[in-house]
Each structure stands twice: as C-alpha cells, then as structure tokens.
Structure 1
Amino acid sequence: MREAVLSDLVRTRAHRPDAVAEAAAARRRPTSPFGEHGRLMMVAADHPARGALGAGDRPMAMADRADLLDRLALALSRPGVNGVLGTPDVLEDLLLLGALDDKVVVGSMNRGGLAGTAFELDDRFTAYDPASIAAAGFEGGKMLLRIDADDAASVATLESCGRAVSGLAGHRLMAMVEPFLSRRIDGRVRNELTVEAMTRAMTVAAGLGTTSAYTWLKVPIVGDGGEDMARAMAATTLPAVILGGEVATDQEATFATWSKALALPTVQGLVVGRSLLYPPDDDVSGAVDAAVRLL
C-alpha cells in the first residue's frame, strides 16, 4: 500500500469516523451470492482478531495491516472472486478503500476464543451481531462453533450460535456456521478431522436456531476430499463451503483435495484465507486464479 493511501485511510478514520457508515451505505451490493461460475468464492481475513497472525512459516505475516490490505484488495480484484469474510476493522478498511462493491460481505461474529489462551474454546461473540450486520447492508454473518465434550462451557457457545442463526435469519441474511468437535491436548486446542467427528459437528450446527433456511456450513476437508468427504457431507442438505486451512507447501496437492470436495452436491464454493493470501511463492494472483479455476 502506498504511504499516501495509508495516510489517507488513517486520516479518515481519525477525523471522519462517519465515513465508514457512509461507505457502507454507498456500497453497490451484489445481485446474487454466486459468481459467474455459479459458486461462492470468498477470501477470509478474520484470523488477526483471534490473535492468529501466522501464515505458513511466517509467524507474524498478518501483523502488517497495510500488507494484508494490499493482498486482500488484490485477491478481491481477481476474476471469479465474489466475496470476503472479515471482522469490523478489516471490512471497514476495505469499505473506505472502495474494494467491496458487488462483493458478498460476511461479518465475523465470535472472536473471543483467542488462539493459544486458556480460554481459547470460549468463543464469545465479541465482533458483529445480526443487527449491526443488517445495518451495514452486508450479506451475512459467520460464527465459529467448537464443541469440547470435556468443557461444559461449550454449551454457552451453542446457545449463542443458535441465537445468532435466528437473528440473522430474522433479517433474511446468511448464517455461516463453522463447526468442529475439538479438544485440548497438551495445552493446545485441536480440531478433530475424522469423518465421524465432522458428521457429528455438522448435524449439531445444522439444527441451531429457529430456522435453517439461511444457514450455510463452513467445513474443512476430511481425508483427501474424496470418499471420506462424501461420507461426511452426506449428513446434511444445507449448502456448504470449504475452508482453505493452513498454508501448504504442496499447493497442487491442496488444490486437488479442494477439487474433489467441490464435486460434491452440497459443496457450493470456497472460503479461503491464508492459503491464498500468503501462498508459498507469494504469488497472490496466481494462487487465487488457480483456486477460481477449480470452480
């Protein structure tokens, strides 16, 4: 990002805070959640709000906000990319930069479970809520649902997610739920990525709220994206998007698993963050374009 652009952005935030709401009101909204390829292709950037700043072998990659915004703007400019997922600070920067016209914008809602903390599984709603997402004119909200059988506090996250699903549906907005069965091992939270675990997590997530009419699932790849993934996805009729996960050294292998998963009838697109924003060769355009071709 050029220094002049960064200075203008900071100056606007400091002297004209109302400019955020003005930019949201002026944003040109998409006519459909789907791109020309008929799928949802979103870039995710809600990791920093949980203190998760690493990407691949770069432990502080996402700590440089100007660099992150450059990468996001570039990814959003590529043909076939029709959406973005982020927390208020990131999305409002993009609004002020004029980068969100015609894009599906999904606000990240519960960022309280900070990475690496004793309370990581306490995924409290600390960012967007349904009312603020509707007021901003965005297309939906995303929530993380991690369930630990040994942690009684998981039920509070379930209840909060249920309320959020209902609230978003009340505004006729997408509720994107990212479910996992999780557990703490040696002080670190691990998500279980077996067929059985993902099946249970998805069926719980699908039943949240007063209606599932606006619910989408955001799910990881199980196995190699083929038979195991098909078995897991057979548990629901809700539309789903595949999350990209960590930066992989073998990007071609990662794309191959995504391609298999995208062939399943319930899978309606990709929501990818670090894998495309910080690819091993640092070619953001090349990584994004390769992902779009899978659709």
Structure 2
Amino acid sequence: MPGTRVDAGALARTRATDPGAVARAAERRRRRPLVGDSGRLMIIAADHPARGALSVGGTPLAMADRTVLLERLCTALARPGVDGVLATADILDDLLLLGALDDKVVLGSMNRGGLAGASFELDDRFTGLRPRDISRLGFDAGKLLLRIDYDDPGSLRTMEAAARTVDAMAELGLPVFVEPFISRRGPDGRLRNDLSAAAVTTAIAIASGLAGTSAYTWLKVPVTDDADDMARVLAASTLPAVLLGGDTGRDPADQRRVYERWRGALALPTVQGLVVGRSLLYPADDDVAGAVDTAVGLL
C-alpha cells in the first residue's frame, strides 16, 4: 500500500529527547469547527489498540504494528472529505508530531479500561484522556464507550463514571460522543453487543439521559442487524448521531453490504456522519485511500 512513510525511530528519538514537542505541536495545530460547511462528519477511528482489540477480520494482531497503523492513518487523513480522527493519547501524540492533525477534528478516546476479553471488561474505567486533557491540548471532543449488561455490576460503575464525564465535558463546553450498547455474555463467556433494534433503541434511550445536561452529547451508534429498523431506532432521541463502522471483515462482498447499510442510515434526520476505523484502515483489498473515498462518497 503506497503512501505516507513513518519513521518510528525518529518519533522515538523525539519522545526521548524532547517530550515537550507534543505540547508545542498541539499549540501550533490549526483548529476548525467540529462540523464544517458540509454539515457532515467523517472521522477515522483508531482507539482500538488501547483496549487490547488488535484483530481485524480474524487476523489477531492486524493492528499491532504501530508504524503501519500510523501510515494508514496519515493516508486516510489526507483524503478529501475526511474531517478528523478518534484515537487515544499515544496515537494522537504521534499524529501531532507528524503534523497530520492541522485543520482536523480531534476526538480523544476516554475510557479504555474494559480490556477485550477480560473478566472486568464491563467495568470500563476511564484510563484514557480526561476532560481537562482534551481542553488543555485544544482537542475538539471526547468519546466514551458505554456497554450495559444487566447481569454485570461493572456496567453500573461504568454508567456512573460516564455520566460524571459527560457533566465534566459540558462544563468545559466540549462535545462528547457516547457509544452505547446493550451487551451480554454468551455460554463461552465472551461479551457480545446486541445489535437488535430493541437493544439499540434501549441503549440510545439510556445514553441520552446521562448526566445533568445533554447539550453537548452526541451518540455514536451501530447500524442494526435489520437496516430497515434504523429509522425507528433513531427516533428514540433527538441527539445528533454518527454511525460507527466496526470490523466488517476481509470479504469485499461483506464490506459492500455494510456500505449500503450506511448509505441508507445516513439519510435519517439525526445522523450527521460516520466514525469508522478498521474497515477503512484495513480494507479487504488493502486500498486505504479507495476505501476512505468510498465512505466519503456516501456522505
């Protein structure tokens, strides 16, 4: 995949000898409104590694090589119509040092404590960017994950922490994207998100009511198993919403079907755009630019 080349050694040397370079790069970054003239958002997501979720399409460590991930991110961010990135502090620091975030929307990922496959996965503590970090660095918004399993008390702790984080972001005048799911453990102990219309509707209703105000809250929602149900699902809230991508696998036919589901859901009145990661950064044909351009075309 031709494109941007990243020198991991140079990044490491800068981090080792001049750690203040990150803050200076953040100060120099040119900012833009969260929603531009198009009224739409196209965000590339790359916060999966910090939760130990490194697989793509059945390849367990597909996202493990940080240099490759950064090169793919730089390629994606340079494409016309891409507004910005969602990532954890380590990746955002690298992108700042690479000068890849000028005039881009930056969303900081906040709770990554619910490690993939862990017994404590639903006690998803806020181990990433804090509201004051997002404000200090001049980033544009935050994102939190809220998975609710009615049989796991860890969900209640996460829900309370999420509500207080929404409060803190609102006090700073910063938008926060809440990604809610109803989740359940299967007989094998693995956690799975319920993408039925009823479950997604319930998750949206719960997330919309978090905290003392919803003035700065956005929703980050999946397209349901039956795309025809999306209009009824999103009728559960008047909050602005973006569609998430998830792992669409490595089958080109599966990816085309997902694109068509996005196309239909993007026509709904509260949907403002897409926040997509693995399916664009690691597409079946390995053409990052082509995959991103296709997604942008849906908007």
- 2 CA distance for matches of 1:57 and 1:280? 12
- 1:219 is matched with which residue? 221
Structural RMSD (CA): 1.1
List alignment gaps of at least 5 residues for structure 2. Answer: none
Alignment of 1:274-289 (within 5 A): 274-289=278-293
Q: Does structure 2 conserve the Cα–Cα contact (< 8 Å) formed by 1:36 and 1:80?
A: no
1:271 deviates by 0.1
- 1:134 is matched with which residue? 135
* One-letter code aligned to 2:131: P
1:109 deviates by 0.4
Q: Deviations over 1:104-153 (max 9, x none)?
A: 10100000010011111111000111111100100111000001100122
Q: Percent identity?
A: 62
- 2:159 is matched with which residue? 158
How many pairs align?
Answer: 292
- 2:202 is matched with which residue? 200
SS in structure 2 of the partner of residue 25 of structure 1: helix
1:15 deviates by 0.6
SS in structure 2 of the partner of residue 62 of structure 1: coil
Alignment of 1:70-109 (within 5 A): 70-109=71-110
- 1:266 is matched with which residue? 270
- 2 CA distance for matches of 1:74 and 1:209? 37
List alignment gaps of at least 5 residues for structure 1. Answer: none
1:36 deviates by 4.9
Alignment of 1:1-40 (within 5 A): 2=5, 5-30=7-32, 32-40=33-41
1:6 deviates by 2.1
Q: Deviations over 1:180-230 (max 9, x none)?
A: 0111112100111111111111111011111111100000011343x2111
- 1 CA distance for matches of 2:36 and 2:78? 13
1:35 deviates by 4.2
1:160 deviates by 0.4
- 1 CA distance for matches of 2:248 and 2:231? 23
- 1 CA distance for matches of 2:120 and 2:92? 26
Runs of 4+ aligned structure 1 residues displaced above 2 Å come to 34-38
- 2 CA distance for matches of 1:109 and 1:57? 26
- 1:149 is matched with which residue? 150
- Establish whether residue 291 from structure 1 lines up as the match of residue 292 from structure 2: no
1:257 deviates by 0.3
